[in-house]
Amino acid sequence: MSGALHELSAVELTTAIRRRDVSAREALEAHFDRIDAVNGRINAVITEDRDGAVVLATAADELTASGADLPPLHGLPMTHKDTHNTKGLRTTQGSTIFKDFVPTFDDLIIGRLKSAGVVTTGKTNVPEFAAGSHTFNEVFGTTVNPYDTSRSAGGSSGGVAASIAARIQPLGDGSDMGGSLRVPASFCNVVGYRPSIGVVPSVPTRNAWAWLSRSGLMARDVEDIALGMTAIAGADPAVPYAYPVQGSFGAGLQRDLTGLRIGWSPDFGLGVPVDAEVLRVLENELQVFAHLGAIVEEAAPDLRDADQVFGATRAFDFVLGLGDLVAKHGDAIKPEIRWNVEKGQRLTAQDLVDAALARTRLDTSVRRYFGRYDVFVSPAAQVLPFDAAERYPTSLNGVAFETYLDWMRSACLVSATGLPAVSVPAGFSADGLPVGLQIVMPHGSDVELLQVAYAFEQATAWATRAPELSPASDWERSGPGE
């Protein structure tokens, strides 16, 4: 093999294992060597099972030698997001309440990854109960950005994003309610993909009809996302949503963008504040689509109802999912979660009626928009990676934020539409901080969405720019102050 194993993509590494150019145990050794080399600087991987991983890698090599058909992710070492339950491996949710919890089952996405041949090695850090897009908690401290270890890696899939960017692993699982895949992808120069509903069912769940949060993947390139989706996509009888995807994730990513109609908005048509440097980078990259034959115009869907839809739905989901824990543990849970649960408890029947009507209006406006345009593109994150010692940004461009969610409105607005979205690397600020472009397409257009993202990625090559991890700073990663 030429080149370091930790630099290989998931496609390259699984192909090498399949061809017996490298063994699963060699891939695992390179994975752990990389954790030892860089994790102390970024605090992304917070739980490990080295002995168990060796057993799995050994079994993978035995399967290779047997000549049997091999699953798509055969032998691929992978840590998992700490909000995803992993059978026999500590899953804390980033909370002191569950700091010693070891589940007896796998969440569906984990079970599918394991069935696809993944060698589970450990867990990655998250904000408490995945609330907020900055990864810190009182159990493990703060995960920082591989491109600048004084900055946030985003969240809630921040540990996943940081580990992928730092070349610890090429592919990882995550989840996204208000940007938890897209914001850390933007911050860490990786790809974060939020699927259409029903593509990767969230099982188990207390609410089978929940629609706002999605399970998805992160990777350094779109091709790895497509490979991973061949393993984890598909319907499940435990949820009522049908599998909506048109086409196959394994059918290839090449696509001619000639004539594709793209609407771009720097502020979502709502005056959403976005850092000037983020806009400079993205507006510079829009010409890429034109060079690929697409037609780019400034146009946004009518998103006036999106804030109401997102706010009410998130509050309802929080009180349903975490209300009992907040009632029992109170101040042991961070204030942002308590605020969201309290907001849910204050919802009235009229609030739910108004949210349902707003969601219908929003859906109608989005459908009208996609009658004129094929794609909507926008900033994935409103801000550059911020000081990791902060809990969250409190203002931007002279606009004060009222809540811990307002700075990530660029992602929340799109979540409210329910549409599939991806953040793809789109360049760097003058100070070398990553910037992501958010690409959105109609429900069920997930394969086409990845094809558009792939065309942009191949034309720009920003995804190939690796971080140069500097020595660990003196800042103690104990997390932002209360």
Catalytic residues: 81, 156, 180
Q: Which residues contact 410 (CB under 8 A, 6 or more apart)?
A: 179, 268, 272, 274, 378, 379, 380, 381, 382, 438
What six digits make up the tokens of 378? 């926008």
Q: In 223-374, at which residue ranges do the beta strands (DSSP E only) sit?
A: 261-264, 295-298
Alpha helix stretches (DSSP H) within 166-260: 182-188, 222-232
Distance CA 449, CA 457 (A): 12
The tokens describing 439, both together, are: 């690409």
C-alpha dihedral, 348 to 350 to 351 to 357, nearest 10°: 150
Can you say whether the dihedral through the CA atoms of 311, 314, 317, 320 is positive or negative?
negative
CA-to-CA distance for 109 and 85, rounded, in angstroms?
Answer: 9
Phi, psi of 235 (to 5 degrees): -70, 160
Most distant CA atoms of the chain, gap in Å: 64
